[in-house]
Structure 1
Amino acid sequence: MPVLIFQGSCQSSCRKKMEPPMKEKKYPATAVDIFVAFFRLGLTAFGGPAMVAYIRTMSVKDKKWVKEDSFKKGIALCQTIPGATAMQAAAYAGLRAGGPWGAVAAYTAFGLPAFILMVTLSAMYTKTHDLPGVIALFSGLQVIVVALVAAAAIGFGRRYITAKQDILLVVGASVFLALGGSPIIAILASGIFGLVLYKSLIRGDSGLPPTAAETVQTTWKTLRPAFLIALTTIVCLGLLFFIRRDLFSLSILMMKIDFFAFGGGYASVPLLFHEIVEVHHWMSNQALMDGIALGQVTPGPIVITATFAGYLLAKIPGAVVGTISIFTPSLFLLLLVVPYFDRMQHNPSLQRALRGVLVSFVGLLLAVTVRFGFAAHWTPLSALIAACALIALLKKVNILWVVLIGAVISALLL
């Protein structure tokens, strides 16, 4: 009997040893779950940066995919690198919830509803923009776009202008763009000047240095997702170069715009204006303003205007290429920078340069406001609409309601 007990216990222990260990679940959600959740959220993603709060509620409180501290750190990262903040916040939440594939799923799903609606509106615009009623409608919407860009400039100013040195960069960037200079040169120059101008303001580390747990070693595993995106992008660009040279040019332009749009989606407006209207002459000033206005009645960030520009240039293929191209660099940079962001936060030189870049966008947005103002058709009523829209936007009224009410008034009275 003791032998049998021993044999039974031995067999039991042997089976336990032979059984493969249970794999610990690495991420709390699958890419499919993340896609569905963010697609639903993207259907109501009106208000641009205001959507960050809804992303936080869903991913931190409701789904419990991301911890509060991690989400806050992610938002700081999203505000540091170029691109639309809400889109990047979605990608960051997806990254924490489901890894790199989760980031791609969240990023794609969150922007997909806006893309579908913008393509539909762009198709309608190309067929109806010459009709008298539509002309009156967009005449009113154009002055609202002036108010929208002006409100963005004021918002940037409130956030970033805190010292005398800032005024120098604001004036310099504004005058440079007004004289026909490239906003990219203004951005790069402001970053360089920031290294000198803010030396007395940003002297050392901002906060405690990163702990050993926060310090990430550079390995292929940490860099692989970003480089896979880069490789895929290079292959696609190569195909476009040989198949559709016009789409290749569109893709390069949109990527360039996204790479330099620091501070959120509105930072892309001066770049879109300069490249699309002034350099390539793909559309008029008024048409770009119409595209921006249409973008405000779709869920998603203001950079969805790239879909409109792509559609006007090359229909559906142009819309697809323009949209993918203006969002790809942001996702690439997010995946590339996430492992090293703690160290970047404590680099004073980087912080000085970044502050110079962000301050320059106040001047760039002011210059574009003036240019849009000259292009719009003004009457006493349209001036009143613009003033009311500006006040409403500064009072944090949802952009969608401002645009819709302005559209109704314009259609009825202008």
Structure 2
Amino acid sequence: MLGRGTSPILAICACAVLSVALFRREAASAAHTPDRPNAHTPLLWPALALSVLAALSLLALFAVDRKLFDLAALMMKVDLFAFGGGFASLPLMLHEVVEVRGWLDPKTFMDGIALGQATPGPIVITATFVGYRVHSLAGATVATVGVFFPSFVLVLVTVPYFDRLQRSPLFQKAVRGALTSFVGLLLVVTLRFAHAAPWSPISIPLAALALLALQLKVDILWVVLAGGLVSILML
């Protein structure tokens, strides 16, 4: 479904809708737990204040520097649709940063992912690398804030209704479909990176050894560092 001209967001939404339509309810809902929205209602006010602050910040960026505005809006969109963890952000970033906007080439984007793995923090910190390459330190700051901000606000908003969402068959099916879509999206990313990688007689067994190390539960930090060291010495 995902071609070079197709947005991953479209694929995610389509899978969520199909999941709601096709998946049958497999088990009865958990025992009813009364909602207690009033206990968490104060969280909504900080969320509202942060949302207003974000909107004003975006307006300021739009007026001052359109590229910073585009960067902030892009990273916020990535965060909103990256269900299931940091790796889910990679297909969205690849599509927007490399294919749509052309800010980075595939090889540079792969370097950013490797750097994100070798440094402390989640893989989504690759957004900081992208922001720096696009607009130096200001871009790195804007991208980092943008890629974490929406999920933080959504947590504040949904906490009062989390029990209700967990019991909702429609919500569960939609989330299942969205998470399933990322299996295919990550496969597409893997194939595109494999096509862009500079293969050589040495890099092929090196890639195989890295895959074996990951299967043996070796910390990915050591895999990345070892791969970089071998590349410096032999490639």
Partner of 1:208: 31
> Is 1:235 the equivalent of 2:56?
yes
Distance 2:55 2:197 in 1: 39
Partner of 2:183: 362
For 1:187, which of 12, 22, 25 is the aligned residue? 12
- Listed as ranges, the matches of 1:145-224 within 5 Å are 176-198=1-23, 200-202=24-26, 204-205=28-29, 207-210=30-33, 212=34, 214-217=35-38, 221-224=42-45
Report if aligned partners of 1:276, 1:283 keep a CA contact under 8 Å in 2. Answer: yes
Report if aligned partners of 1:392, 1:402 keep a CA contact under 8 Å in 2. Answer: yes
One-letter identity of the residue aligned with 1:187: I
> Where does the alignment leave 5 or more consecutive residues of structure 2 unmatched?
none
One-letter identity of the residue aligned with 1:310: G
Partner of 1:274: 95
Report if aligned partners of 1:202, 1:348 keep a CA contact under 8 Å in 2. Answer: no
Report if aligned partners of 1:306, 1:319 keep a CA contact under 8 Å in 2. Answer: yes
Distance 2:214 2:154 in 1: 30
Partner of 2:116: 295
> Where does the alignment leave 5 or more consecutive residues of structure 1 unmatched?
1-175
> Is 1:308 the equivalent of 2:129?
yes
Deviations 1:366-404 (A, max 9, x none): 011000000001112211111111122232211110001
One-letter identity of the residue aligned with 1:209: H
Partner of 2:140: 319
- Listed as ranges, the matches of 1:9-20 within 5 Å are none
* Count of matched residue pairs: 235
> Is 1:336 the equivalent of 2:157?
yes
Distance 1:314 1:179 in 2: 25
- Coordinate RMSD, CA, aligned: 1.5
Deviations 1:218-274 (A, max 9, x none): 975231121121111011111111111110011000000010000000000000000
For 2:225, which of 382, 401, 404 is the aligned residue? 404
The TM-score normalised by the length of structure 2 is 0.96
Report the CA distance between 1:209 and its aligned residue: 1.6
CA distance 1:220–1:300, shift in 2 (3 Å)? same
Distance 2:59 2:45 in 1: 21
Report the CA distance between 1:203 and its aligned residue: 5.6
For 1:384, which of 179, 202, 205 is the aligned residue? 205
Partner of 1:225: 46
Partner of 1:155: none
Secondary structure at the aligned position of 2:172 is classed as helix
One-letter identity of the residue aligned with 2:173: R
Report if aligned partners of 2:4, 2:99 keep a CA contact under 8 Å in 1. Answer: no
Report if aligned partners of 1:226, 1:332 keep a CA contact under 8 Å in 2. Answer: yes
Report if aligned partners of 2:88, 2:182 keep a CA contact under 8 Å in 1. Answer: yes
Identity of aligned residues (%): 50
Report if aligned partners of 1:297, 1:404 keep a CA contact under 8 Å in 2. Answer: yes
Report if aligned partners of 1:389, 1:402 keep a CA contact under 8 Å in 2. Answer: yes
One-letter identity of the residue aligned with 1:362: V
One-letter identity of the residue aligned with 1:363: G
Secondary structure at the aligned position of 2:2 is classed as helix
Report the CA distance between 1:194 and its aligned residue: 0.4
* Bigger Rg, structure 1 or 2: 1
Partner of 1:160: none
- Listed as ranges, the matches of 1:339-350 within 5 Å are 339-350=160-171
Report if aligned partners of 1:310, 1:320 keep a CA contact under 8 Å in 2. Answer: yes
Distance 1:339 1:390 in 2: 42
CA distance 1:260–1:279, shift in 2 (3 Å)? same
Secondary structure at the aligned position of 2:199 is classed as coil
Distance 2:224 2:41 in 1: 47
One-letter identity of the residue aligned with 1:183: P
Partner of 1:286: 107
The TM-score normalised by the length of structure 1 is 0.55
